[in-house]
Structure 1
Amino acid sequence: MRDADSKHTLRRRLLTARAEMGADRRAAAGRALRDALLDLPELEMAASVAAYASFGNEPDTHGLIFALWKRGTYVLLPRLLPDGDLDWASYEGPDSLAPRGAAEGDGGSGAPGMLEPTEPPRGPDAIKAADVILVPALAVDRTGMRLGRGGGSYDRALARVGPQILTIGLVYDEELVDRLPAEPHDRRLRAVVTPSRGLVRFP
């Protein structure tokens, strides 16, 4: 099986497992991830953090980004561009989020529940200024390889980031796996955080 085919199969299985997960478990996972990350020295010292507003069955990040913002961290959130790349804008509290596309007046097209920042966009290169980058993932393996949703948006964004920047995937416990299929364009993460294990750094 080609890596691209095996990725497609894995995505379907992981998305199905997330859909079957109870709301209480998802909420508890979000709180555990938030607490683990807020105690992380790199995040405590970070002036700027690139994060994302979770949607659907992803581990919840809304409490985390609100807590980072309240303690004075400059938080950048992504906006999906028509070509699949990511632009970035600042998070200024819950009222600064709107359904994807609403800022452009198209009624909020995109995945149901996906929220994006309504502040002025700062361009795809704004991610370079982040001290820590929090990355969505369906799974991460023990070498730092990440499985995303297949659009390639984060692989393009992470290609702009220097190797010294801490990039962290957020997943449920069973989504930290031994090995994932990889393709040449895939970008490895430097760490992952799960509800039970907390932060796991990769060599």
Structure 2
Amino acid sequence: MQTPQPSPGPLAKAALRDQLVTVRNRRSVAELGDAARDLADRLLACEEVRRAASVAAYVAVGTEPGTAPLLAALLDAGKRVILPVVLPGNDLDWAVHTGDAGLVPARFGLLEPSGPRLGVDAIATPDVVLVPGLAVNDAGFRLGRGGGCYDRALARVPVGTFTCVVLYDDEVGRDVPVEPHDLRVTAAVTPSGLRRF
């Protein structure tokens, strides 16, 4: 009896993830800081973000493209910001971001909001949804970390909502393997600009 072999999609994704994480880990602290400020500038200049009353975002950790300047600017602009809380089973609940003082350490080395939970369907309410990723292809399919959290979350986002993956410049236009459960984003933002799909 033969052992079933995994499809090439997951294997190709794992290999690409390893490659991209290795490149990210080589970035200097100065480069990370500059990128975070440039990303905030790009997104704050984006029409959808300027018009938005509410934004779903996340707290970047490690060598992910930084979100701290952006989160501070969104709160300063009076926007309602919701952040994810990882549930058992890798689904995402959401809570309102009240500032850095309201963030607590969580599983996987993440920082999460400590306030009341809004439920998994809260992701359907913001005008803008910003998501993490490791890469995106030319059709807008993103490569995540492999847990499926954001695939579940994006499935709850209404069609027509501005969904944007936050990346470094060299992570856009990559040959990302696509599986049936993968969902497209409508844009990618990098330190040098915004690309729409």
TM class by smaller structure: over 0.9
2:70 to 58, 64, 74: 64
CA-atom RMSD, angstroms?
Answer: 0.9
Q: CA deviation at 1:66?
A: 1.1
Identify the residue that residue 103 of structure 1 maps to in structure 2: none
Q: Does 1:125 align with 2:131?
A: no
Q: Distance in 2 between matches of 1:20 and 1:157?
A: 30
Runs of 4+, deviation exceeding 3 Å? none
Counterpart position of 2:108: 111
Aligned position for 2:59: 53
Q: Normalized against structure 2, the TM-score is what?
A: 0.95
Give, in whole Å, the separation in 1 of the partners of 2:87 and 2:22.
Answer: 27
Q: Give the gaps of 5 or more residues in structure 2.
A: 1-6
> Counterpart of 2:140 in structure 1: which amino acid?
G
**Structure 1 segment 6-155 matched on structure 2, within 5 A:** 6-100=12-106, 110-112=107-109, 114-155=110-151
Give the secondary structure class of the aligned counterpart of 1:177. Answer: coil
Partner SS for 1:111: helix
**Number of corresponding residues:** 191
C-alpha deviation, 1:16, in angstroms: 0.7
Deviations 1:18-73 (A, max 9, x none): 11111111111111110000111111111110000000110110110111011100
- Aligned residue in 1 for 2:194: 199
**Alpha-carbon distance between aligned partners in 2 of 1:175 and 1:130, rounded to the nearest angstrom:** 26
Determine if contact 2:135/2:174 at 8 Å carries over to the other structure.
no
Residue identity over aligned pairs, in percent, reads 48
Structure 1, unmatched stretches of 5+, are: 101-109
> What's the TM-score once normalised by structure 1's chain length?
0.92
Cα contact 2:139–2:184 (8 A) shared by 1? yes
- Aligned mates of 1:82, 1:26 — CA distance in 2: 30
Q: Distance in 2 between matches of 1:29 and 1:143?
A: 24
Code of the aligned partner of 1:11: R
